[in-house]
Amino acid sequence: FIGREPRRALGFLDERKLNDNARRLLETLRLDLAPRTRVSKLTVATQQMVEIAKALSFNSEVLIMDEPTAALTETEIDDLFRIIRQLRDRGVGVVHISHRLEELKQISDRITVMRDGKYVDTVATREASIDQIIGMMVGRTIYETAREVPDNPSTEIALEARGLRRGRTIKDVSFQLRRGEILGFAGLVGAGRTEVARAVFGADPLEAGEIFVQGKRIQIRAPSDAVRAGIAYLSEDRKRYGLALGMDVETNLVLTAMKRFVGLLGWVQTSRTRENGERFVSALRIRTPGLQQRVRNLSGGNQQKVVVGKWLTADTKVLIFDEPTRGIDVGAKSEIYRLLNDLARQGKSIIMISSELPELLRMSHRILIMCEGRITGELRSGASQEEIMRYATQRRDVIHAGATAPVV
């Protein structure tokens, strides 16, 4: 309600009415949240729901929603769609911008496709298939980028975690990651996937457990320790944790390895940073007008490539991708998949955390499934979404992967 706060006589803020109005609005979204909670303390998903609640508070005749479900759970998405249908029944026009085509098929009456800033076509939702829509989006037939690296990566263990523990979020987690392998992590929201990644990277302290890199036990007390050991973490919230949005592409690409570009007198050698920038812009196919372009002005897919380039500049060997394709379009997704394939082929070891099961099944050599802080199963390539969901909801008698977790 910023700028629209209820006022008492003499212009004083009516805080009670403000909180009551906020509480009623949050209840319409079935969001159990105290109105006075600081937004900075909320998860990305809950922040998204608060933003949606703010949009609903305007009682507008036309409501434009840009990727409103990007960070929401299935339950939250159902609640949002219930609200959208109520608005439609009241005569409100809703523009729902999304790359999740299944959602568009579920909620929309018509679908308009744009590509490279140009209008392509508008089709009736019930008459168009998802394959047809994707074809219009990418200008070619539906992409089926699959994992291109061999089914049996190197037997060399690049990273091993043993008995990781942290409160109620990580409970005796053990796993191995091989050189050149793409290891998927699946699970419902809150299962502990991101928590494991952050702990391995040193962003959150562990209460117990051991981490080995190329067979050598290392102590990771902070992200700087992980970077020195060759481990990179690409957060699901890349704009907040992965990029300096106000800086240009060239600078972002050297942020994790700036010492390498400083001369004897302490000055940054701009010729070398420029050379590094040109190399990665070309290698990663980053679409930018130039190296001096501010990162905030790039598309989501190109921002993600800049984050990857930043860690490759630091010569990391293990890359942890947390929701690598969140908020980017179908064409950019296929480029991210190609990039993951290229990295694995070069011998990089990749952990891929994703809520999109087809993505995990398409790209991973193996998939570890988590539930309530534990690994409950391990699946090979060729598994089904149903098998993943069975282990992801296995709340009783959860199994420790290092001991007797089922391998299918």
Region 87-103: mean pLDDT is 86
Quote the CA–CA distance of 158 and 180 in Å, as a whole number: 9
Closest CA to 226 of 248, 208, 203: 203
Does the pLDDT at position 322 exceed 80?
Answer: yes
Q: pLDDT category, 142, cuts 50, 70, 90?
A: very low
Does the pLDDT at position 309 exceed 80?
Answer: yes
What's the confidence (pLDDT) of residue 99? 74
**Range list of H helices, 258-392:** 270-283, 300-313, 330-345, 357-363, 385-392
Region 98-103: mean pLDDT is 81
Contact 133, 121 (CB under 8 A): no
Q: pLDDT category, 138, cuts 50, 70, 90?
A: low
Q: Where are the beta strands (DSSP E) in 26-67?
A: 62-66
Q: Taken in order 390, 392, 396, 398, is the CA torsion positive or negative? A: positive
Contact 83, 110 (CB under 8 A): no
Does the pLDDT at position 313 exceed 70?
Answer: yes
Region 197-224: mean pLDDT is 94
Q: pLDDT category, 197, cuts 50, 70, 90?
A: very high
Give the model confidence (pLDDT) of 154-178 as tens digits.
789 999 999 999 998 999 999 999 9
Does the pLDDT at position 130 exceed 90?
Answer: no
Give the model confidence (pLDDT) of 15-48 as tens digits.
888 889 899 888 887 778 898 899 888 877 678 7
- CATH no. of 157-392: 3.40.50.300
> Is-same-fold flag (9-108; 157-392)?
yes
Quote the CA–CA distance of 266 and 258 in Å, as a whole number: 11
Q: Which residues pair with 137 in a beta bridge?
A: none
Q: Where are the beta strands (DSSP E) in 203-293?
A: 208-213, 216-218, 231-234
What's the confidence (pLDDT) of residue 141? 46
In degrees to the nearest 10, what's the CA dihedral of 317, 319, 325, 329? -20
Whole-model pTM? Answer: 0.65
Q: What are the residues whose beta carbons fall under 8 Å from the beta carbon of 91, sequence distance 6 or more? A: 61
Does the pLDDT at position 222 exceed 80?
Answer: yes
Give the model confidence (pLDDT) of 381-400 as tens digits.
778 888 888 888 765 444 44
253-267 as b/e, with b when 16 or more CB fall inside 10 Å?
bbbbbeeebeeeeee
Closest CA to 177 of 230, 120, 133: 230
What's the confidence (pLDDT) of residue 292? 94
The number of residues making up the chain comes to 408
Q: At what angle do helices 44-56 and 74-89 cross, to 10 degrees?
A: 10
Measured between its terminal Cα atoms, the distance across the chain in Å is: 51
Contact 291, 274 (CB under 8 A): yes
Contact 316, 227 (CB under 8 A): yes
What's the confidence (pLDDT) of residue 152? 64
Contact 180, 347 (CB under 8 A): yes
Contact 263, 269 (CB under 8 A): yes
Q: Taken in order 40, 47, 295, 242, is the CA torsion positive or negative? A: positive
The CATH superfamily holding the domain 9-108 is P-loop containing nucleotide triphosphate hydrolases (3.40.50.300)
Does the pLDDT at position 67 exceed 90?
Answer: no
What's the confidence (pLDDT) of residue 399? 43
Domain chopping of the chain, boundaries: 9-108, 157-392
